[in-house]
Amino acid sequence: MKWYANEKIPGQLDYNVADPMLSLVQKYNIKVRGHNVFWDNPHNMPSWARYLSPVQLSSAASRRINSVMNRYLGQLIHWDVVNENVHFSFLEQILGKNAPAVYYKKANEIDSKSIPFLNDFNTIEHGFDGTSNPAKYLEKIKELRSHGYNGPLGIGLQGHFVTPNLPYIRSSLDMLASAGLPIWITELDVANT
């Protein structure tokens, strides 16, 4: 469902991979999360979108969110609206600091039954990444709220562990729980056991 896979060429939408995958999991009554509407890392945006003017990017992003969310309307339990937005800020740099809040609000307007999620990495894995530690994650939530998004929100945590540090994981989850939002481990892998 990623933008770079669904629209390799501007205006040419391609859901030939996502549609059958969704059909397969629905056949077995497996709940599905939408990953993702936007990926805030410019290297994971469609290559053509990286070089658009603010007006052009705003227009393309509006088409994108309407296209993908309406296509799967009512079929997904969550959407990672602006993926890895604690680490990256491509949309803010081009469209302004309130851009993520605009897209979270739009996502909630399109599909009010699907919970919009923040989703990032290195928040619970270890304390070495000062960019996305639990305090920074909570700051991002406050930033979204201060820019006008006051709708439902979830905390998505990518768990890419090398050697899990259980006390750090526990304290990170406790800190994030103070936001009073649903917390999901959205990705999970352990390199060493």
Nearest Cα neighbor of 117 from 61, 51, 179 is 179
Gap between the Cα atoms of 53 and 50, Å rounded:
9
3-190 fold: TIM Barrel (3.20.20)
8 A C-beta contact, residue 78 and residue 108: no
pLDDT at 192: 78
Task: Determine the Cα–Cα distance for residues 53 and 72; give it in Å rounded to an integer.
Answer: 28
**How high is the pLDDT of residue 165?**
94
What is the structure's pLDDT at 193? Answer: 64
Q: What are the extents of the domains in the chain? A: 3-190
The residues carrying an active-site annotation are 187
Mean pLDDT in each 10-residue stretch from start to end of the chain (193 residues)?
97 98 98 98 97 98 99 98 98 98 99 98 94 97 98 98 95 98 97 78
